[in-house]
Amino acid sequence: MANPLRDRRTAADWAAAGQVIEIAGKLSGFEQLAAIVDADLAALGPAKIPAHWRDSAISGTVEFGFADEQYQVPMVRCRATVTVDAVCQRCLAAFKLPLEIEASLLLLALEETAEGYEEHEVWELEETDLRPLDIVEELLVMALPFSAMHVDVASCKALYIEPDEQEDRTKPFAALRAQMTQDQ
């Protein structure tokens, strides 16, 4: 059975069909996103690259329709989640980075405008035919942070300090502070 995410149709055809597509795939099926993750992980060296990172599950939905009652303005709602392997820019270790997208897009031809649809983001399409996979992939790529970092400080080796190490740290200006408080 063909994958509707890979089918090509015009935005109006997708919207007229009221197509709803369930996303249940792997990161490897999203070539552009997989290439970005691969390039990021290449900084680790072969021994530290997480095994099976391409098998990360991507799930969600893509729903086409019209934003107006006259059926003139095609739109799409996308929801997707995936957890990709990334390299923390602080400690340079691999970690799991959850990505979640939710978008409502107006699919317009170049130079076309639509007024009164503030709840939607406008996407101008260079080509008349589109693939839902390309929309979802572009949204996921845009959701990637510029610099991936651990969210939890305790997980980042560059930021986390063992409790006993905190007390033993030298404070180079402690003597200066003591001297300044004495002078007052």
Which pLDDT tens digits describe the chain residue by residue (184 residues)? 578 999 999 999 999 999 999 999 999 999 999 999 999 999 898 899 999 999 999 999 999 999 998 999 999 999 999 999 999 999 999 999 999 999 999 998 887 888 888 888 888 888 889 999 999 999 999 999 999 998 787 888 887 666 555 555 567 777 777 777 776 6
> By residue range, what is the domain housing residue 78?
4-183
What secondary structure letter does DSSP report for 115? S
- Full DSSP string of 85-107: EEE-TTT--EEEEEEEEEEEEEE
CB neighbourhood size of 3 (10 A): 12
**Residue 150, SS3 per DSSP:** coil
- Full DSSP string of 30-90: SHHHHHHHHHHHGGG-GGGSPTTGGG-EEEEEEEEEESSTTS-SEEEEEEEEEEEEEE-TT
Residue 49, burial from CB neighbour count under 10 angstroms (0-12, 13-18, 19+): middle
Query: Tokens 């006993």 belong to which residue?
Result: 164
Q: What is the pLDDT of residue 45?
A: 86
Q: What is the pLDDT of residue 170?
A: 66
Q: What is the pLDDT of residue 5?
A: 92
For the chain, the domain total comes to: 1
Q: What is the pLDDT of residue 164?
A: 57
Q: What is the pLDDT of residue 83?
A: 96
Closest CA to 103 of 124, 123, 83: 123
The pTM is what?
A: 0.82
Q: What is the pLDDT of residue 184?
A: 65
- DSSP H/E element including 20: strand 20-26
Could you tell me whether strands 9-10 and 129-130 are parallel, antiparallel, or unpaired per DSSP bridges? antiparallel
Q: What is the pLDDT of residue 173?
A: 77
Could you tell me whether strands 121-125 and 57-66 are parallel, antiparallel, or unpaired per DSSP bridges? unpaired
Residues 6+ apart with CB under 8 A from 21: 4, 5, 61, 62, 63, 132
